[in-house]
Chains A and B, each alone.
Chain A
């Protein structure tokens, strides 16, 4: 039972519980490592995903570094959750989870892979990219 907070940390679970401020359904995507077609959800605020039932199936090539122990938790702002399902998961809204805000609680009862992703605005900064500015000089 461990808590993971670094970018790139990934957990794989048979069943997982997610508590997020806001969850966006992105539709079906191919998982970047396993290449399976899965349903993608993204959270962007104060999120955590916990393994409540351990995945005991085949460990695919490239997924050896995934964490799969009971109670393992991912905690971050930006988490991508891939669910092995063709239907949208339902969530419950619970008020007062933190001192100020409520949250969406999702009980994922299908196999899922959750990863802490790079926030996109950090990528811009990392690559030294900002707003593009066209320079026009007028000579008279």
Chain B
């Protein structure tokens, strides 16, 4: 393959503590598996601290966990408003509404008890830029179940 025709893309990784390197750009070769249509062998060398890169591509990263938490908390909020609507249109009695909330609090009220570290808070901020309906600190802490005091402590530290 003529090296002049090779286009090499180098992307700065958004995965923490990982650098992606393509070794020796001028001699890099792209091999294509012709046996299966659409399958392409891609080669790269990755330098990563501990297992950070492997955890990222396997879905064990903090980002994935935060997003799963956010989805579940949105479901909890939706459950509450659905139940409230049922009470308003008299599908269920007010006493039944109060009882359901009291007995199944985790299904209807978001808990904000998690104490994240600084990196998790910063990652959550970055994720929240792309999530709808995060307009206030309360929206942010409810989305990721963060304890508001921890966020305020981080702010005080950054103000010093």
Contacts and interface: CB of A to CB of B under 8 A. Distances in A.
A27 B81 contact: yes
Contacts of B54: none
Contacts of B154: 127
A132 B125 CA distance: 11
Q: From DSSP, what is the main secondary structure of chain B's interface residues?
A: helix
Interface stretch (B29-37, B41-49, B64-72, B102-110): B102-110
Interface residues of A, number: 34
Interface string B112-156: 100000000110011001000011111111100001110110110
Contacts of A139: 7-10, 25
Contact of A117 (B109, B121, B137): B137
B39 interface: no
Given A134-B14, A136-B9, A40 B125 contact: no
Interface in B75-102: 77, 80-81, 84, 98, 101
7 contacts: A32-B148, A127-B158, A132-B126, A135-B12, A136-B9, A136-B10, A139-B8
Interface of B: 7-12, 14, 25, 77, 80-81, 84, 98, 101, 105, 108-112, 121-122, 125-126, 129, 134-142, 147-149, 151-152, 154-155, 158-159
Q: Which 5 A-B pairs have the closest CB atoms?
A: A32-B148, A135-B12, A139-B8, A28-B109, A137-B10
